[in-house]
Amino acid sequence: MLIAAVVAVASVSMPGSGAEASRSPQLHTALVSIPKLGVSAKVYVGITERQFSRGFGYWPGTARAGQRGNMVLSAHRTSGPRHLYDIDKLVKGDIIHVRQGRRVHRYQVTRSFIVEPHDVWIVDQSRTPILTMFACHPKGSIDKRYVVRATLLTS
């Protein structure tokens, strides 16, 4: 399921138009690992089908791993590689690793919630390093978004 509705409402300029559309998605040089879900996948810049068909999509302009602010990632739930198929099984205390370069940043899940596709406030930046992951909800639908928030533990 695409997050196209969120992207359209946000009016974010996304990679993937014109000549760039014929190239492979730009790697964000990160790797996400979610031990509880048995997920490990590369992160690509952008939140469109091009990125989701390969791994996680990184919302351009949001914080990078370990930096102050909100790093926003998304992935498919029921199509393609389905990296966030069980996003709803993540609970407070679960760990998400984001490896960027030689550093591994550990985030701990603090909460989860459901929003409407137009609720782009979930990408707002923060004063502290956080991670926001989202996918379509419920499974097989694009009606809502399931969101998981996590705070940085260590870098």
**56-114 tens-digit pLDDT:** 999 999 999 999 999 999 999 988 889 999 999 999 999 999 999 899 999 999 999 99
Q: Residue 25: which pLDDT band, with cuts at 50, 70 and 90?
A: low
**73-83 tens-digit pLDDT:** 999 998 888 99
Query: 128: burial class by Cβ within 10 Å (0-12, 13-18, 19+)?
Result: exposed
- pLDDT at residue number 92: 98
DSSP 89-140: G--TT-EEEEEETTEEEEEEEEEEEEE-TT-GGGG---SSEEEEEEEEESTT
Classify residue 69 by its DSSP letter: E
Mention every residue, 6+ apart, whose C-beta is less than 8 A from residue 24.
none
- pLDDT at residue number 79: 86
Classify residue 53 by its DSSP letter: T
Mean pLDDT of 110-121: 97
Q: pTM of the predicted model, to two decimals?
A: 0.83
Residue 74 half-sphere exposure toward CB, CA atoms < 13 A: 30
Cβ atoms of 59 and 35 closer than 8 Å:
no
Question: Taking the C-alpha atoms of 76, 9, 124 and 40 in order, what is their torsion angle to the nearest 10 degrees?
Answer: 10
Pairing of strands 69-74, 129-137: parallel
Q: Is residue 48 predicted with pLDDT exceeding 70?
A: yes
Q: Is residue 16 predicted with pLDDT exceeding 60?
A: no
> Which tokens hold the place of 111?
């909460």
